[in-house]
Structure 1
């Protein structure tokens, strides 16, 4: 299968025939975006979406949809730069700002990445408490982490992509079902798609929703997957585009399913959930056991893939920093996956969440993401770098909008010290 993909990726050309035949052609190649999607479809996004719905009802529905578009857009820009240059984003940034500055930037990115993984371990432990009870939760948690370690460490890159694709699809289906279960008001849904004047509190939530789904660092992570898949050539741009369309759609369904639990169930009851775990606990008396189970099952799957996916992508970044191997599928690089998984295990067993440190490092991550998306938007919009593949006006506009949200997030962080 891999050889067939490598032979055919040199020319993207939809076959003649009906819609089904075209879809089968596209589906035979998509997958690398699932790695990024599996990390984006995590508790951070879930918490932002549940806050937006439980605090403001349907009013921020448009922001949730926009976040899905931005999620695909920022990754596409990173992948496009890789396809045109044959280099991953780490290599491109290093060429622009120098080795020392690039190394500092990506060390900060990596530290933050691992702190997020640590917090994911804590969330997984809390979810196991809810699902299995406190007495069995510790054993269930350790078994879960060991399963993640086995699946991601023992698998090849192609198998990891397949696993991530399956899990993303399952989560999208779960939260698609959840949309029907919470039975949102159609009239309010339509109204929520129209942006209105919003308060500072709403602006902060909007920045959190879109900033969490479309940070500049997403371009880096997706570029690694594109490089691993040998899509680092202009002829792969068609596959990259459809890869992102499919998984950005899944991400949007995931986000909507969570948002609507807040807007249709928690908001009318006056419950403001500040995290996805809080929402899971608050839903049962309102949505019933089945509704709560659907929500928790989807969230559990999100944390599962986030820990494995983030640990895998973290190993690629470590490889870039320390030049361990030219091939990210090398067993030496795969061993680095265990670093993230062990960190998540400690996060759950310690009961801590490292949130105070994490908030500060996430602020630095916003600065790093701003640097990355600025450089990549410039390169892909520049004729000298991109040639005939220079961004269309709407791609550049999307990059500038993403840049704006990253800049806003960066400013809110810096302003705390002024």
Structure 2
């Protein structure tokens, strides 16, 4: 009997491919990189949501109106306020997301457990009061924008928009519906405002100078409004709730930060800067000021001619409508959680509180007199009054090891949070000075 020892076959070279036992790689075949790239892209897109909801809430009619006024009255000088506010906003939003991922409870529930029930209830009520203030600007803006595009009474359009959002709030799978809708609206607004800024042909060197901090005389309440709409701690406070509603898991923290949190917060900041640029370029050329809605519509006239007011009206309406949905959702969720009624969007009490926020905005809009644009600016500026409490609570919770575990703040995150609190307190002082002086 002959012993035959099987020798291992040597790899044979076929073209540029090596073939061994069990391998049947085609000559010249490469790994399916495009498929992997598509998978990564789809994975990133699938994580988008909570950060962009916050962005939609920030970029409402008050943000748009105050940005246009900033550009028309002060040129590019206040761009730096938006840049700094965006960085600070990103820091607090990240804290909220990490708190949500580190705990099996909502933020209000964690505050009640660690800092006392009264503190948690106060935080929920604080956010609710802020959303009431925002609801006024959203209601006014939606009606004004729709009337510019389609004609008719702004009051009737405000009523129609409010009823539509209330109906959507009671739809099954509400979170999925409004998340996808807001993503689409933000994409449309981004394209429109980018085109507006580019086509007005600004001096980009002067635009870059706007990132250098300066304090033009007469900024007053406008400066406060810019900070209040772009550094919105109440919106950051809600981000954790949206993350929990989305079902994000702790191991997704890094991916969701890159795909959702950063772009979701940076996007409204960039759009706000583009609005300032377009307003400064267009309105400074004509020597105008954006004190009325008709003045605001002139921003796009150099680009779109007679269609400018309609184009602006569409953008204004999108900003108001998207912010109306996100604002009411956050307010209803937080007050319901503070009162112990739950925080999930499928609960009827949460939906009822969402409708309460909408009803408040509609009622004030119907009863208020005076300039609607000034009403929007004032409502947004007043939001900074409650913000210090929310910022302090977020910072306290994010620095507690027993709450956060490995997601606890690093030293630079805490430092950024302290800088943010100083900024909020400074704007509160400036707001109080403006109100007392006026």
TM-score range, shorter chain: 0.7 to 0.9
CA distance in structure 1 between the partners assigned to 2:262 and 2:44 by the alignment? 11
TM-score calculated relative to the size of structure 2: 0.79
1:283 matches 2:299:
yes
> Paired residue for 2:347?
330
Aligned equivalent of 1:366, options 384, 408, 417: 384
Q: How far does residue 138 in structure 1 lie from its aligned partner after superposition? A: 4.9
TM alignment of 1:132-143, pairs within 5 A = 132-134=150-152, 137-143=154-160
CA distance in structure 2 between the partners assigned to 1:387 and 1:284 by the alignment? 50
Bigger-Rg structure (1/2): 2
CA distance in structure 2 between the partners assigned to 1:257 and 1:292 by the alignment? 18
Aligned equivalent of 1:271, options 260, 279, 288: 288
Distance 1:212 1:357, change over 3 A: closer
CA displacement, residues 22-65 of structure 1 (integer Å, 9 cap, x when unaligned): 33321122112222222111012112211221122122223323
Distance 1:207 1:336, change over 3 A: closer
1:87 matches 2:105:
yes
CA displacement, residues 269-308 of structure 1 (integer Å, 9 cap, x when unaligned): 3323247x35424436655323333322111101111112
Contact 2:75/2:284, CA 8 A, preserved across alignment: yes
> Paired residue for 2:208?
190
1:225 matches 2:242:
yes
> Paired residue for 1:51?
69
Distance 1:414 1:139, change over 3 A: closer
Contact 1:56/1:267, CA 8 A, preserved across alignment: no
Contact 2:387/2:424, CA 8 A, preserved across alignment: yes
- SS of 1:33's partner is helix
Q: How far does residue 351 in structure 1 lie from its aligned partner after superposition? A: 5.4
Aligned residues: 399
CA distance in structure 2 between the partners assigned to 1:339 and 1:200 by the alignment? 40
> Paired residue for 1:306?
323
Contact 1:116/1:358, CA 8 A, preserved across alignment: no
TM-score calculated relative to the size of structure 1: 0.83
CA distance in structure 2 between the partners assigned to 1:361 and 1:345 by the alignment? 16
TM alignment of 1:242-257, pairs within 5 A = 242=258, 243-257=260-274
CA distance in structure 1 between the partners assigned to 2:341 and 2:231 by the alignment? 29
Q: How far does residue 145 in structure 1 lie from its aligned partner after superposition? A: 3.0
Q: How far does residue 117 in structure 1 lie from its aligned partner after superposition? A: 0.8
- SS of 1:219's partner is helix
Higher helix share: 1
Distance 1:406 1:163, change over 3 A: same
CA distance in structure 2 between the partners assigned to 1:413 and 1:137 by the alignment? 30
Please give the root-mean-square deviation of Cα atoms over the aligned residues, in Å. 3.2
Query: Which residues of structure 1 form unaligned runs of 5+?
Result: 1-14
CA displacement, residues 202-227 of structure 1 (integer Å, 9 cap, x when unaligned): 47644432332123222221121112
CA distance in structure 1 between the partners assigned to 2:193 and 2:55 by the alignment? 15
